[in-house]
Amino acid sequence: MPTLICDLDGVLFSDAPQRRIDAWREANGGDLGIDGPADLPDDELVAFRSGLLDEAGYAAHLRRRLRWTGSDADLVTGWDTGAAVSLEVVDVLSGLRERGWRLIGADDSDPWTRRGREDQLGWTTSLFERVVRSVDVGACLPDPRFFAELLRGLPPHGTRLYVDDDSRNVSAARRAGLDGHLFNDAEGMKGACRAVLISST
C-alpha cells in the first residue's frame, strides 16, 4: 500500500500570517511589538508547538513580545485569523485514498491553531488514517523524533512519500528514508505521487 505523509501547515491548510498581524495591530490600538510575521517565530513558539510550554506561559510571553494591551480572547482569536483549507488538496487526497493510498498527517502547529482548525475544519482530519502531532511527540519538524513517529508502523520498504512546503522538512524526510516532494500546488503533489509509484515498480 503506498503511503503519503502530508504536512498539514502550508499543504492542506494555507495561512495568511500578515492578516494575523493586522488583526492584532487593530485590536491593540495600532501599536504592536513586532513588524511582521517573520518576527513571530522564536524558541518559545517552538516550545509551545511541541507541548513544552503551556498556553498560559506562551500567552504571557506573547503579551510581552507584542506589547499587548488587548484582551487574551482577542489575542487568541487573532491567532486564527486567515487560516483556510485548500479544496484542491482535499480533492487530491480524497482521490489518493480512493485508490488505496494510506494517508498520514503531520501537524506541528501550536495548540491555538490546532483548536481553531478542529473547530472550523475538523472534517479534514477524517481524510487521514492518523495524524502525528508535535505536542504528542514532544518535538517539531524537522526533528528526527517527529519523523520516527511518522514512520512508526509503516513497512520499511515501498512507496512512502512526504510532502511539505518547507525545504528543510523535505530534506529531513529524505534523511529519514522517505521520498520527499517540495509542495507548490495540488497538481504538483499529484504528479509527485504518480512519479514515486512509477519509480518504485
Query: H/E element holding 163?
Result: strand 160-164
Same domain, 166 and 104: yes
Neighbours of 49 (CB within 10 A): 25
Per the prediction, the chain carries an average pLDDT of 91
Distance CA 50, CA 140 (A): 6
Distance CA 159, CA 161 (A): 6
The model's pTM is 0.86
Residue with cell 472534517: 123
In this predicted model, what pLDDT tens digit does every residue of 122-159 receive, in sequence order? Answer: 889 899 999 999 999 999 999 999 999 999 999 888 89
How are beta strands 84-85 and 13-14 bridged, if at all? antiparallel
pLDDT value at position 96?
96
What's 12's DSSP letter? T
Same domain, 48 and 116: no
Same domain, 155 and 88: yes
In this predicted model, what pLDDT tens digit does every residue of 41-51 receive, in sequence order? Answer: 999 999 999 99
Same domain, 116 and 57: no
Same domain, 35 and 104: no
Distance CA 97, CA 102 (A): 7
Q: Which residues span the domain enclosing 34?
A: 17-79
In this predicted model, what pLDDT tens digit does every residue of 157-181 receive, in sequence order? Answer: 889 999 999 999 999 999 999 999 9
Same domain, 53 and 121: no
Q: Is the pLDDT of residue 69 over 80?
A: yes
CATH number at residue 119: 3.40.50.1000
| The total number of structural domains that make up the chain | 2
Label residue 201 by pLDDT band (50, 70, 90). Answer: low
